[in-house]
Amino acid sequence: MGKQSRLRILLNGLIKENPVLVLVLGTCPTLAVTTSVENGVGMGVSAMAVLVCSNIVISLLRNVIPDKVRIPCYIVVIAGFVTIVQLLLQAYVPALYASLGLFIPLIVVNCIILGRAEMFANKNTIFDSALDGIGMGLGFTFALFLMGSMRELLGNGTWLGIHVFDKFIPGMGIFNLAPGGFFSYAVIMAAVTYFAAKKGAK
Amino acid sequence: MKSNTYKEYIAPVVVLVCICLVVTAALALVYGVTDPIIKKNSKATADKTRTELLKDADSFTEYKGKLVVEQPGAVYVKDVYVANNKAGFVATCVTKSFGGALTMMVGVDKEGKVTGVKVTNHADTPGLGTKDFEAGYLSQYKGIGELKATNVKDDGQIKFITGASVSGSAVHYGVYAALHQYKDMGGVK
């Protein structure tokens, strides 16, 4: 595979095949954790780490795993990975664990990871799968960052904890709740689709 | 035909079992290495939190008497450490919140008033609910000697956050249990 297409694998996840905004994967963690920018980015980065590792392992085992039992195999590998990462963080980086700890169990049920194992890692080489993991992870983090920014700004009047206008106008509480999550998701998704279509038409 | 049976039925089972065994072995290994460190870390954190919650205390000794159980298996006092200079005690309470068990520590002084509350472990999704675990919200409990209800909405003493009352009530019930413990112990002796 040439350099050109490797770059494409990496960039695909950002906009064109963004896992959240285009492929509509991982919706549950997206809606749940994006009440603030910090939470969104924390979830995005932890999911990316697991995604890259699980993509590598599944790509490594792609010729060993029989088709019939591939899904249980992926789940065992992913859940094992997540638990190992959780234990290691808890033991050696307790400060990081204190801020990310809550997101880690949520990663097991993140369907982006299972989705990429099924759609990409079991058909491609280790290196390409790792690149796909990084690209998709960045795309996920980017989408969570956008959602988190919108919800924190409108819901709290702050951005990344910095006071923007919360001292003058109180935030709209609904953006901190589930309905606000759906509103923001729809608006951002529509905007991305609009720009993608415009670019495609040119 | 024979090789077909192998491919169809035996190979998938063997591979899946092998993967499970490898993952389990890896987990057991990592757990064995990290568990003592995690336990040591959490003990150090717990000691630090106790001193933070009850600033007048010098050192602590574990209370060996009866501990309060509000709801068996759901809401109870897990341990109580009494200050050696009798300034008060710090109770570790377990209550039930949105995401399951929630562990918190409550400092109570010798007059039976809350000196501080800190949530040390919970499984709630970060966001609105976890606002009830922030220092600003929890500081409302400081100086309170009696709670009228186990539910934050019925009590009226605490300004709770709308839409996050499950977590708020979990914290409230924990403080309630700690104050109940003070009464049962008949003060700090």
On whether residue B32 sits in a domain, the answer given is no
Residues with Cβ within 8 Å of A197's Cβ and at least 6 positions away in sequence, in order, are: none
The alpha carbon of residue B61 is apart from the nearest alpha carbon of chain A, in Å, by: 26
pLDDT over 90 at A187, yes or no: yes
Going by pLDDT thresholds of 50, 70 and 90, the confidence category of residue A144 is very high
CB-CB under 8 Å, B20 with A91? no
Query: pLDDT per residue over A153-173, tens digit each?
Result: 998 888 887 888 878 888 888
What does the mean pLDDT of chain B come to?
Answer: 88
For residues B188 and A187, the model is more confident at A187
Going by pLDDT thresholds of 50, 70 and 90, the confidence category of residue A27 is confident
**Which chain B residues contact residue A177 at CB under 8 A?**
128, 163
Going by pLDDT thresholds of 50, 70 and 90, the confidence category of residue B128 is low
Per-residue pLDDT, averaged over B82-97, amounts to 91
Per-residue pLDDT, averaged over B52-76, amounts to 89
On whether residue B41 sits in a domain, the answer given is no
- Kindly state the percentage of chain B with pLDDT values over 90: 42
Q: How far is CA A122 from the centre of its chain?
A: 20
* B 126-145 near A (Cβ less than 8 A): 126-128
pLDDT over 90 at A89, yes or no: no
**Which chain B residues contact residue A103 at CB under 8 A?**
126
CB-CB under 8 Å, A103 with B12? no
On whether residue B116 sits in a domain, the answer given is yes
pLDDT of residue B118: 92
ipTM over 0.90: no
pLDDT over 80 at A101, yes or no: no
- How far CA B31 is from CA of A75, A99, B152, B156, B188, in Å, comes to 20, 21, 39, 45, 39
Going by pLDDT thresholds of 50, 70 and 90, the confidence category of residue A182 is very high
Helix, strand, coil share (%) of chain A residues, nearest 5 = 75, 0, 25
Q: How many CA atoms lie within 13 A of A142 on its CB side?
A: 21
Among the residue ranges B37-51, B54-68, B123-137, B175-189, the one predicted with the least confidence is B123-137
3-state secondary structure of B102: strand
CB-CB under 8 Å, B16 with A69? yes
pLDDT over 90 at A2, yes or no: no
**Which chain B residues contact residue A83 at CB under 8 A?**
27, 30
Overall number of domains in chain B: 1
For residues A74 and B161, the model is more confident at A74
Residues with Cβ within 8 Å of A159's Cβ and at least 6 positions away in sequence, in order, are: A37, A149, A152, A153
Residue of B nearest to A175 (CA): B128
- How far CA B109 is from CA of A53, B54, B119, B180, in Å, comes to 50, 7, 18, 13
Residue of A nearest to B24 (CA): A80
Per-residue pLDDT, averaged over A37-58, amounts to 88
Going by pLDDT thresholds of 50, 70 and 90, the confidence category of residue B58 is confident
Per-residue pLDDT, averaged over A55-73, amounts to 90
Going by pLDDT thresholds of 50, 70 and 90, the confidence category of residue B90 is very high
**Does residue B20 sit at the A interface (CB-CB below 8 Å)?**
yes
- Kindly state the percentage of chain A with pLDDT values over 90: 27
Domain extent at residue B106: 53-185
pLDDT of residue A188: 93
On whether residue B47 sits in a domain, the answer given is no
Kindly write down the DSSP assignment for every residue of B12-73, as one continuous string. HHHHHHHHHHHHHHHHHHHHHHHHHHHHHHHHHHHHHHHHHH-TT---EEE--S---EEETT
Per-residue pLDDT, averaged over B130-156, amounts to 85
pLDDT over 60 at A77, yes or no: yes
pLDDT over 90 at A190, yes or no: yes
pLDDT of residue B73: 87
